[in-house]
Chain A
C-alpha cells in the first residue's frame, strides 16, 4: 500500500488499507478483555439456573442444562493472563459429569442486531468474520463452539485445538458469512450468538466449519470440560471482527468499555449518607421520585431496588426535615424506561406533608441494579 507525500496533493495512498478491521471499534464483542464485572466484582458464581442464561462478567453469560456443574469467576485460579491482558474469564468444573445428548454447558455472548446488521448475514453480501481469543485449559484436545442466529435455526460449529495444558494459546477461527437463513438486522434484538462449549451433547453438536440449518451449539466430538472434576477453562481477548484475518486486539478505554456494558446492565452504587433522588410528597403517606439511569439502555430495564427500611442496606423516603418517618412503607418501581424510572413510596406512616420535598435515602451502602440484557 504505497503512501505518497508531496507538496501538491499532500498525503495520498494507492489501493486500500488491508482490511475493514484496521481501525478501532472493530471488535463486535463487548468486554472481550474481561475487564468489567459489575455483578460480581470478581466473586465466583456457580451456574445453577437451568432455564436461562446466567450473566457473569459483563456481557458474558453462562448456561448449564444441569445445575452446579461449573462455576465462572473473573481471574479464577489467579494465573498470569496472556501478555497485554490483565483479566480473564475462568470456568471451573465442579464435578465429573457425563453430558446428556441434548444437554449443553457453555459460555456465551449475544450480540445486539445494531452491532451486526452491517455483516449482511442472510444475504448474498454476507461478510466473512474472524473470531480470535486467548484460551488456557487444564485439558488438551479439540474444543468446540458455534455461532448461531437468534432463532438458533442457523449455526456454524467450529473447533480449535488446545495443545498444551495450563498454557495460554492464541486461537483464530474464520467464518464465511451466512448467505441463508433469517438474521436479525439493525434492531435491539439478538443479531448473533457466540457459544463456547464446555460440554455439549451430540444432538446439539454438528460438523465443524460449515453452516447448518440446525441448532448446533458446538462441534461434534469436542472436549467436555464439565466431564472432568476440577478442570479449568480460561479465556480472554475475545474478538469478533470483519475480515478473514485476525488483527490485534481492540483495546478500548476502560470508560468506553464500561459505557458499552451499561447499555445492558448497570450496577448503580450509593454510599452511606448520599441521596438517591429528590422527590415530592404526594400525600401524608406517599412519595414519588425519579432516578436517572447512567446511560440509555437497550430496552426498558428490569430494576432491582434495595429493600425498604431504616436499617443498614435499606432505603427510605425521609421527611422534608430530613428525618426518618415513624414507619417506612413500601417502595415500588413504576414506568421503567430506557433512561429513567420512578420510585413510588406508599403505606408510609403519616409523617409527610403533601407538596413538600422528600428524598430517598440509603442507610449504608446500597446498590440499584438495572438489567436490559439480551
Chain B
C-alpha cells in the first residue's frame, strides 16, 4: 500500500510533494525514474496495489495518476 503526501508549503505557494509513502515500512520513495522502489511502486499500483490520497482515501483512478508521473 502506498499513500500520497500532502502538498508542501513553499514561498511560491503549495506544490505537490515529490515523494510517496510506502506504508508497510514507512519508507518515502522519491519520484525518480532511476529509483528502483519508484519503478516497483508504479508497477505494483498498475496491477492493483492500493494507493491512497493524502487524506487516506483509496484512489479509484490510480492508473491514471500513475500515467501522469515521470
The complex places the Cα of A137 from the Cα of B40 at a distance, in Å, of: 34
Nearest CB in chain B: distance from A60 CB, A: 15
- Say whether B36 contacts A336, CB under 8 Å: no
Which of A52, A302, A335 has a CB less than 8 Å from the CB of B27? A302
Q: Which of B9, B18, B34, B37 contacts A371 (CB 8 A)?
A: B37
Decide if A81 is an interface residue (CB 8 Å cutoff): no
Q: How many residues of B contact A (CB 8 A)?
A: 23
* B25→A304 contact, CB < 8 A: yes
B60 CB contacts on chain A under 8 angstroms: none
Chain B: CB-nearest residue to A53: B36
Q: Which of chain A's residues have a CB closer than 8 A to the CB of B32?
A: 299-300
A300 to B19, CA, bound (A): 10
Instruction: For the complex, give the distance between the alpha carbons of A372 and B30 in Å.
Output: 10
Cβ of A353 within 8 Å of any chain B Cβ, yes or no, is: no
Pair B36/A334 contact, Cβ less than 8 Å: no
Report if A373 contacts B (CB, 8 A).
yes
B27 touches A303 (CB 8 A): yes
Q: Is the CB of B6 within 8 A of A305?
A: no
Q: Per-residue CB proximity of B7-18 to A under 8 Å, as 1/0?
A: 011000000011
Q: Does A32 contact B (CB under 8 A)?
A: no
Would you call B35 and A299 a contact (CB within 8 A)? yes
Is A334 a contact of B5 with CB atoms below 8 Å?
yes
Least distance between B28 CB and chain A CB atoms (Å): 4
Q: Which of A51, A52, A188, A336 interacts with B19 by CB under 8 Å?
A: A336
Residue A329 is within 8 A (CB to CB) of chain B in the complex = no
Given contacts A332-B6, A334-B17, contact A304 B26 (CB under 8 A): yes
- Inter-subunit contact A344/B8 (CB<8 Å): yes
* Distance between Cα atoms of A366 and B18 in the complex (Å): 25
CB of B70 to closest CB in A, whole Å: 11
**Which residue on chain B has the smallest CB distance to residue A305?**
B26
Contacting A302 at CB < 8 Å: which of B5, B6, B18, B29?
A: B29
Number of A-B contacts (CB under 8 A): 65
B30 engages A300 (CB within 8 Å):
yes
> A307 at interface (Cβ–Cβ under 8 A)?
yes
Given A334-B19, A335-B18, A344-B8, decide whether A307 and B26 contact each other with a Cβ distance below 8 A. Answer: yes
Q: Is the CB of B34 within 8 A of A298?
A: yes
Given the complex, which residues of A lie within 8 Å of B28, measured CB to CB? 302-305, 332-333, 336, 341
Most buried by B among A188, A298, A299, A344: A299
Contact assessment for A346 and B34 in the assembled complex, using a CB-CB cutoff below 8 Å: no
**A334 cross-chain contacts in B, Cβ below 8 A:** 5, 8, 17-19
Bound-state CA distance A302–B21 (Å) is 10
Please determine whether A300 and B34 come into contact, CB atoms closer than 8 angstroms. Answer: yes
Query: CB < 8 Å: which of B5, B27, B30, B44 contacts A332?
Result: B5
CA distance A158 to B16 in the complex (A): 49
A300 touches B35 (CB 8 A): yes
Cβ-defined partner of A189 (8 Å) among B9, B34, B37: B34
A337 to B28, CA, bound (A): 12
0/1 string, B24-63, CB within 8 A of A gives 1: 0111111010111110100010000000000000000000
Which A residues between 325 and 374 are near B, CB-CB below 8 angstroms?
332-337, 341, 344, 346, 369, 371-374
**In the complex, residue of chain A having the shortest beta-carbon distance to the beta carbon of B44:** A51
Tell me if A282 is interfacial: C-beta within 8 Å of chain B: yes
Is residue A201 within 8 Å, beta carbon to beta carbon, of the partner chain? no
**Beyond the given A303-B28, A332-B5, A336-B19, could you list 12 further A-B residue pairs with CB under 8 A, ordered by the A residue number?**
A51-B40, A282-B9, A300-B34, A302-B22, A302-B30, A333-B19, A335-B18, A336-B18, A336-B28, A336-B30, A337-B30, A369-B27
B residues bordering A, Cβ < 8 Å? 5-6, 8-9, 17-19, 21-22, 25-30, 32, 34-38, 40, 44
> What are 13 residue pairs bridging A and B, where the CB atoms are less than 8 Å apart in the complex?
A51-B44, A298-B34, A299-B34, A299-B35, A302-B28, A302-B38, A303-B19, A304-B25, A334-B5, A334-B17, A336-B30, A344-B8, A372-B34
The 6 closest A-B pairs by CB, nearest first: A333-B28, A299-B34, A300-B30, A300-B32, A302-B37, A336-B30
